């Protein structure tokens, strides 16, 4: 049996369907990513699984316990790191850690081996108030507090939002370390590049799951040819390309525009067409699809 | 048990770290006790008096000097006639006019004098009627003295002995000080826990607590106990100040007051926690609390005696917890009433404490 099993789970807030018949399952020791923009329903799913809210319909179990009936037991087994920093800003690093250990009826020493790799990085600041920590340190403290009772499942809601690129990468290294200790993790992120570090990912949008697979599997679902195009005037380029025959879609992607090519797409013809339009420095080259390309394609479907 | 201790410890740590709360907790009782008793005093002093002396005799001078001698009155000199004095009254320069008729001394000996007339400005009803009474008493006392000195039999006037039991000097402050202590506890023990919990909601920390196995009861106790201790601390400070500055100390046992306070603080913080549980924002919680606090302040006999309220209002006061605490405070402070005579108040306070705290536990939702 999988550690997390979700079956047609729905939750609405008034007229808004925050979560619409979502189903997925996460196996033991898996690092599972929920990838999607704001409003995709990621936080709602976390709040349901951590038993903070009840579903309207559907069912879900965590460690075999129903999220509605078994919520007391679930709370002892899971660790939750909310998207917003929610430790006591007026308590020090050490006091926060001791406080949360006490709430679970345990001591910091009992979970020290688990917490140590993370906590050691902020230990020099243990007498600093949590509110005065930098973003990356706050996030490490929050993770330490979420681990203090040796949870078997960890829910991390956008843990890297608002954190610098180096700290983000470090954070994913820490998650990899926890995975080695057989902790099951469900992580959400709006950053597509982080999806690569998950075992499996679910692409979510507007309360629905668009696809679940390994990062490589998701990318292999992209069944069209993809080109990157650039020119001196990127805006004119975008408009000119979108109306060209054989172009299924064209959207800005980093410093280029990506073209999803249809069956009758001819790169050389587009090149000539753009040059005739007066665009300079036109470059068209085939490129490899990324998760983001898949996401955009699935969203448009 | 360890969890509860940790929760309480955490609350105190946060209060200590707060830049404002420790000062409030110490300064608020001191300020209220040092300043408010002088301001809320409703006893009337310095009533402006104008005397129209048509007699110009020893008796009239005696009356005037008596009026001038006490600090109840400020003598605004002599008016030539009643008309002049009345104009002064109209202009608000004086509050009471005393007119001594012609030949008063001569007629007094014959025991059939024309009466002394006293007119008061009663726009401010309290000042008017009290001022009038003070003048009446002073004049009556002077006349009695004179009659005694001259060996005359007391006139037909009824000899009454007035005695103000329990507050012999009729000091309004003694009536107000216990009420001020209650106000202090209503404000601090009602508002602080409310602010604290809504604050945890706003910073999101409550969410982090909700995903732990912490029980609702332990959480609620962790919020109630610190404010319970703070409330008792503030009561002690207030009582010590009342003793040092105003010489007021309970005639009865202070233990009875503490017992009532222990219950009353629980009532107030239970209410505060319940309101906080049902509010999402500070503003919402504050307005609901203000609603209750206003009713508590104005209707439970803090300022005005319940007995002089209309019947329907008196019925409402039965459901206001401060009413019972005020009764205990005044009874023990001024009369020295024993616990056994006040058991009804204690039972009521106990019931309210139980009710509000049950509500506070029930309304705390770890799960939406």
* Domains, chain B: 2-40+171-363 (no CATH), 47-149 (3.40.1710.10)
Angle at A291 between CA A290 and CA A293, to 5 degrees: 65
Q: What's the domain count of chain A?
A: 2
Boundary-marking domain end, from A219, A252, A273: A219
Select from B14, B204, B367 the Cβ nearest to the Cβ of A51.
B367
In this prediction, residue B163 carries a pLDDT of: 60
The rounded distance, in Å, linking the Cα atoms of A68 and A224 is: 43
Size of interface A-B (CB pairs under 8 A): 70
Nearest-Cα distance to chain A for B27, in Å, is 23
CB interface of A with B, residues 97-156, below 8 Å: 98-100, 102-105, 129, 145
Region of poorest pLDDT, from A43-57, A140-154, A266-280, B167-181 = B167-181
In this prediction, residue B158 carries a pLDDT of: 45
**pLDDT above 70: residue A244:** yes
Q: For A146, which residue in chain B has the nearest alpha carbon? A: B208
The rounded distance, in Å, linking the Cα atoms of B119 and B91 is: 15
Residues A208 and A229 in one domain: no
The rounded distance, in Å, linking the Cα atoms of A146 and A61 is: 20
B368 touching A, CB under 8 A? yes
Residues A150 and A236 in one domain: no
Q: Give the neighbor-by-neighbor strand order of the sheet with A184-189.
A: A78-81, A153-156, A184-189, A31-35, A200-205, A208-213
The rounded distance, in Å, linking the Cα atoms of A253 and A257 is: 5
Select from B6, B14, B211 the Cβ nearest to the Cβ of A88.
B14
Pairing of strands A256-261, A247-253: antiparallel
Residues A170 and A227 in one domain: no
Q: Measured between beta carbons, which residues in chain A are less than 8 angstroms from residue B367?
A: 51-54, 71
Give mean pLDDT, residues A210-231.
91
In this prediction, residue B141 carries a pLDDT of: 81
A279 touching B, CB under 8 A? no
The rounded distance, in Å, linking the Cα atoms of A47 and B182 is: 43
Nearest-Cα distance to chain B for A189, in Å, is 20
CATH of the domain at A279: 3.30.70.100
Residues A119 and A234 in one domain: no
Pairing of strands A153-156, A78-81: parallel
Residues A66 and A151 in one domain: yes
pLDDT-based confidence at residue A162 (cuts at 50, 70, 90)? confident
Task: State the sign of the Cα–Cα–Cα–Cα dihedral A176, A182, A183, A188.
Answer: positive
Give mean pLDDT, residues A251-270.
90
Residues A214 and A230 in one domain: no
In this prediction, residue B153 carries a pLDDT of: 55
Residues A279 and A246 in one domain: yes
In this prediction, residue B334 carries a pLDDT of: 87
pLDDT averaged over every residue in chain A: 91
Residues A111 and A250 in one domain: no
Tell me the per-residue pLDDT of B285-321, one tens digit each, with 9 for 90 and over. Answer: 999 999 999 999 989 888 888 888 899 999 999 999 9
Boundary-marking domain end, from A194, A219, A244: A219
Select from A52, A87, A90 the Cβ nearest to the Cβ of B210.
A52
CATH of the domain at A204: 3.40.50.300
In this prediction, residue B90 carries a pLDDT of: 84
Of the candidates A217, A219, A189, A251, the one whose C-alpha atom is nearest the C-alpha of residue A40 is A189
Give mean pLDDT, residues A115-120.
92
Examine the predicted complex and report whether its ipTM is higher than 0.85: no
SS (H, E, C) B237-268: HHHHHHHHHHCCCCCCCHHHHHHHHHHHHHHH
Boundary-marking domain end, from A219, A245, A275: A219
Structural domain of A81? 4-219
Nearest-Cα distance to chain A for B186, in Å, is 27
A54 touching B, CB under 8 A? yes
Q: Measured between beta carbons, which residues in chain B are less than 8 angstroms from residue A99?
A: 6, 10
Nearest-Cα distance to chain A for B212, in Å, is 5
Region of poorest pLDDT, from A42-51, A106-115, B67-76 = B67-76
CA A301 to chain centre: 21
Phi and psi at residue B162, to the nearest 5° = -100, 130
Tell me the per-residue pLDDT of A51-73, one tens digit each, with 9 for 90 and over. Answer: 999 999 999 999 999 999 988 89
- Residue B291 has, within 13 A of its CA and on its CB side, a CA count of 9
In this prediction, residue B165 carries a pLDDT of: 65
The rounded distance, in Å, linking the Cα atoms of B149 and B209 is: 83
The rounded distance, in Å, linking the Cα atoms of B103 and B251 is: 51
A64 touching B, CB under 8 A? no
Q: For B208, which residue in chain A has the nearest alpha carbon? A: A86
Residues A206 and A232 in one domain: no
Task: State what percent of residues in chain A have pLDDT above 70.
Answer: 100
Select from A50, A87, A129 the Cβ nearest to the Cβ of B205.
A87
Residues A181 and A292 in one domain: no
Nearest-Cα distance to chain A for B2, in Å, is 8
Do A53 and B2 count as a contact with CB atoms less than 8 A apart?
no
In chain B, which residues have pLDDT < 50?
A: 156, 158-159
Do B205 and A91 count as a contact with CB atoms less than 8 A apart?
no
Residues A69 and A155 in one domain: yes
Residues A154 and A262 in one domain: no
Q: How many H-runs (helices) and E-runs (strands) does chain A carry?
A: 10, 14
Best A18, A84, A90, A95 residue to mutate vs chain B (most B CBs within 10 Å): A90
CB interface of B with A, residues 187-216, below 8 Å: 203-205, 207-214
- Counting every residue, how long is chain B? 368
For the packed helices A93-103 and A135-147, what is the interaxial angle rounded to 10 degrees? 20
């Amino acid at each position: 049996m999988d550690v997390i099993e979700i079956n047609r789970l729905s939750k609405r807030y008034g007229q808004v369907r925050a979560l619409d018949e979502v189903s997925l399952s996460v196996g033991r020791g898996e690092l599972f990513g929920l990838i999607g923009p704001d409003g995709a329903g990621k936080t709602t799913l976390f709040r349901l699984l951590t038993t903070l809210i009840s579903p309207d319909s559907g069912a879900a179990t965590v460690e075999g316990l129903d999220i509605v009936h078994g919520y007391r037991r679930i709370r002892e087994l899971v660790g939750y790191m909310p998207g917003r920093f929610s430790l006591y800003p007026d308590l020090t690093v050490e006091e926060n850690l001791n406080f949360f250990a006490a709430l679970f009826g345990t001591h910091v020493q009992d979970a020290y081996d688990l917490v140590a790799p993370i906590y050691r990085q902020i230990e020099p600041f243990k007498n600093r108030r949590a509110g005065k920590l930098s973003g990356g340190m706050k996030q490490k403290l929050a993770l330490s507090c979420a681990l203090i009772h040796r949870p078997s499942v960890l829910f991390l809601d956008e843990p890297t939002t608002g954190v610098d690129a180096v700290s983000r990468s470090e954070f994913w290294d820490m998650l990899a370390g926890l995975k080695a200790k057989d902790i099951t993790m469900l992580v959400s992120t709006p950053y597509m590049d982080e999806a690569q570090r998950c075992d499996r990912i679910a692409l979510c949008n507007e309360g629905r799951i668009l696809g679940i697979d390994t990062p490589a599997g998701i990318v292999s679902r992209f069944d069209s040819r993809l080109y990157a195009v650039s020119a001196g005037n990127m805006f004119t380029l975008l408009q000119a390309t979108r109306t060209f025959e054989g172009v299924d879609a064209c959207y800005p992607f980093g410093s280029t525009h990506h073209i999803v090519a249809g069956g009758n797409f001819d790169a050389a013809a587009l090149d000539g067409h753009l040059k005739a339009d007066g665009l300079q420095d036109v470059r068209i080259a085939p490129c490899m699809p990324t998760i983001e390309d898949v996401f955009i394609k699935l969203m448009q479907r | 048990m360890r969890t509860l201790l940790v929760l309480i410890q955490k609350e105190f740590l946060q209060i200590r770290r707060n830049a404002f709360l420790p000062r409030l907790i110490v300064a608020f009782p001191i300020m209220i006790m040092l300043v408010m008793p002088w301001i809320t005093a409703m006893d009337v002093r310095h009533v402006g008096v104008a005397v129209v002396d048509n007699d110009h005799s020893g008796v009239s001078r005696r009356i005037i000097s008596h009026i001038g001698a006490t600090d109840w009155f400020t003598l605004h000199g002599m008016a030539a006639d009643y008309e002049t004095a009345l104009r002064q009254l109209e202009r608000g320069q004086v509050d009471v006019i005393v007119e001594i008729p012609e030949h008063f001394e001569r007629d007094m000996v014959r025991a059939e004098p024309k009466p002394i007339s006293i007119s008061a400005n009663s726009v401010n009803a309290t000042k008017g009627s009290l001022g009038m009474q003070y003048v009446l008493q002073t004049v009556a006392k002077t006349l009695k003295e004179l009659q005694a000195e001259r060996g005359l039999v007391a006139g037909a006037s009824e000899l009454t002995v007035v005695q103000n039991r329990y507050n012999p000097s009729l000091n309004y402050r003694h009536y107000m000080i216990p009420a001020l202590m209650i106000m202090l506890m209503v404000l601090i023990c009602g508002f602080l826990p409310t602010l604290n919990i809504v604050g945890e909601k706003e910073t999101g920390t409550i969410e982090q607590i909700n995903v732990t196995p912490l029980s609702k009861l332990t959480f609620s106790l962790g919020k109630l106990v610190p404010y319970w201790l703070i409330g008792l601390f503030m009561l002690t400070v207030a009582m010590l100040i009342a003793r040092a500055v105003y010489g007021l100390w309970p005639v009865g046992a202070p233990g009875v007051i503490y017992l009532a306070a222990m219950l009353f603080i629980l009532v107030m913080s239970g209410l505060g926690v319940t309101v906080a549980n049902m509010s999402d924002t500070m503003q919402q919680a504050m307005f609901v609390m203000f609603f209750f606090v206003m009713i508590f302040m104005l209707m439970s006999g803090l300022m005005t005696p319940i007995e002089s309220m209309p019947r329907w209002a008196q019925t409402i006061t039965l459901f206001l917890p401060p009413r019972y605490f005020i009764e205990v405070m005044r009874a023990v402070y001024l009369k020295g009433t024993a616990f056994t005579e006040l058991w009804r108040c204690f039972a009521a306070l106990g019931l309210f404490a139980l009710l509000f705290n049950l509500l506070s536990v029930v309304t705390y939702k770890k799960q939406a």
